[in-house]
Structure 1
């Protein structure tokens, strides 16, 4: 088995190396931006929910509808439908640059709902203690809500990263590059089974590293 895998990576090593780098670039750039946006949206959804810190039915309903609508669109359809916008923003619809925007657009609403759920898991006592000290809303969010929810948020990062990794493979079908593109071009069109196997092995390794790392970090910061 090791000899077979050695032959695989000897034959496709440079190609797979570049594909892996492209995949990781798409994955981490888009997920980082998605979390910056999703964190803000998730906090607003939580804060404006009924019986929450600052209930606001209109804001919560409209923002929730936008999040749900975006989440309901399959990624491949979203990717194609926003190509004109992507072209206007970054000047291309192919390669790593061409897929960051649709990846962020697809992942940010997913992140927002996960952040909202994580905040809902925070015990009410922690919030009431901060309110009793006269803390402002930003202070409550930063000093009580987010620290208490952090283990759950970190575990959610692994789910998001693995989901976005799947999206990058789909994006390879429309010229985004990365391991998905290699699997399509060599494994599907050229019947290079070895290339397909090698991309699967690499994707499995990446998923295992992501999951193990996030679990370890979550256990380290969880003091409950």
Structure 2
């Protein structure tokens, strides 16, 4: 299938590792030019940029502190300057703080909401304004979580709440923007083998697999493949949906 992505321009937040890294490289393989963000332009982010360039696309790293609204907007402006027209926005970056509901400090709650929900709102708002002004179509894809639907049982209620907000934001934006040519979709990963959870997977052999009907923990590429498809031309009739990429944990 021809995904018709070659020459398109995309922003991927949180692309130095894990799912974001896999998404960025998956798009690069399809010929998509990239602006990829991380809190710092470190060795990991630079490595992703170099791998993308080796695939024949333009790729630029931009350091962004997503808890700072001004930095988020500065990043979007810089991305537009570097790439020109913006075709695809992937809101992937997020934080996963731990704390039982009775113990969560207000600053942890606010930080989680700032990074996981307010930053995607701001990037999406900028993206929508830029494309509506130019009367151009676009695609916004939000990486949420199965926790948005199941909640948290392990001390991450602030994370679950932020991701549930992202699901509702996805639907609301799709209702408003789809008639104007901008589709908005999401993916809800389950247990994915990334730096954040790898030690827990090793420490509890079989535990996570036992919660997943498909019997295996996802790799970042399992999620990235769906995101790349959602960014493609063949997925243009999808909007307002959040796709279950949990190996069957949700089945919704």
TM-score by length of 1: 0.30
Q: Which has the larger strand fraction?
A: 2
Greater Rg by CA: 1
Of the two structures, which has the highest relative contact order with CA contacts closer than 8 Å and spacing of 6 or more? 1
Question: TM-score of the superposition, structure 2-length normalised?
Answer: 0.27
Higher helix residue share: 1
